[in-house]
Amino acid sequence: MQPDSFNALVAEIAQVGLSAQVSVRGEHLYIGLTIADAPMPEPATNTLRTLLYRIDLAELGLADVRVVHVYGLTAPKQAAWQQKFAIAPLTKADTDLMSFDNRFSAVFYFPLMVLTGIFLKAFAPIGGLLQGIDIWFHEFGHAVVAWMSGRRAIPLPIGFTPVNPERSFFVYVGVLLLLGLLFWAGQREQKRWPRLLAISLAVIQFGMTWLMSANTFDMLLYFGGIGGEFLICALLIVGYYFPLPQYFQWGLYRYPVVVGASFTFFGSLWDWRQVRRGLQEIPWGSMWGGDGDMERLAYGHGWSHQQIINTYNTLGTVCLVAILAIYFYTLFKQHRVWLLLQWRQWRTDGLNGR
């Protein structure tokens, strides 16, 4: 930081009525205030915090500053009080809703989208009108199992997915080609997650198409309806944090997608919790009458009622833990300095009996 930058920062602080001395060491900014201007630590610290968020710190050579130390000086190198706080200056990404580096989007907008989906599901009139979202995810769950196993399938929004039980080399190559395009797009834009996703799905596709027995395929096909309500929705929810190639415009579409996926995921999670408590029945039957997925699992593959209940509840719990883990990991990653300072302050207050 050059002398001119020191003078500029001192001038900015003087404009809020405080006389200051400043110095910088790495990520730490030290500000000494004249005790006559700042007899109480809290008002002065709050004023400085607001000021440092308002000005462009990068122009002052402070782009790397993450912790600010404030002192009330009675004399040079003699402090009557001291405070410190974390700071993360606003960046261009923080004002861009399409950016995956937007800290407000990652920490605040994400739970807002999730809560919006939960509210829509819980509000009966709206939840009933949007039932088609649940149907779509359910049928898409069946179709994904079929496609990944090299079978033809058409998910219909009327609660039915016709599936050809015979393997199709055309389907296998078609899905593999799409995964190859995803990998190529990720490679072209140097995005890691699309490449990892494409490779992982290609390996799973090979195993499900050529190594999995017909009986296992049939079981997974019927399991995949409600399984899709958990797995597909959970993947879309956590996908909020992972950029895809620009072609998909995922930075924009992830917002409504998370609302819709949360609508179905948390609705299914609640329903199966109620089933486990004995307050609801297992969803037997189908929309069009006759046997449904649960009958096929129970009577076609020998699943007990308790096995069905435990399996879907466990799947829902694992998905929920994964969602929370990624959210809190992102929270800590982007705000670790502030969180660590709060933790240390809490421990200090505890040791001092405050």
Q: What's the confidence (pLDDT) of residue 345? A: 55
Helix (H, G, I), strand (E, B) or coil at 87: coil
Cα-Cα-Cα-Cα dihedral of 124, 126, 132, 137, to 10°? -80
Q: What is the pLDDT of residue 183?
A: 96
Task: Name the band, by pLDDT with cuts 50, 70 and 90, for residue 71.
Answer: very high
**Per-residue confidence (pLDDT) for residue 240, from 0 to 100:** 96
Rounded to an integer, the average pLDDT of 285-294 is: 88
> Would you list the domain boundaries of the chain?
3-86, 103-345
Residue 276's pLDDT is what? 97
Tell me the pTM.
0.80
Higher pLDDT, 300 or 103: 300
Tell me the pLDDT tens digit for each residue of 216-256. Answer: 999 999 999 999 999 999 999 999 999 999 989 999 999 99
Statement: residue 342 has pLDDT above 70: no
Contact call for residues 207 and 145 (beta carbons, < 8 A): no
Packing angle of the helix pair 305-351, 214-238 (nearest 10 deg): 30
CATH of domain 3-86: 3.30.70.2210
- Quote the CA–CA distance of 276 and 225 in Å, as a whole number: 19
Which is more confident, 298 or 125? 298
- Give the CA dihedral 145, 147, 153, 154, nearest 10 degrees: 100
pLDDT at residue 8 is higher than 60: yes
Residue 163's DSSP bridge partners are 153
Is it the case that residue 346 has pLDDT exceeding 90?
Answer: no
Please report, in angstroms and rounded to a whole number, the separation of the first and last CA atoms in the chain. Answer: 38
Q: Is the pLDDT of residue 343 over 80?
A: no
pLDDT of residue 333: 79
The DSSP code for 30 is E
DSSP tag of 163:
B
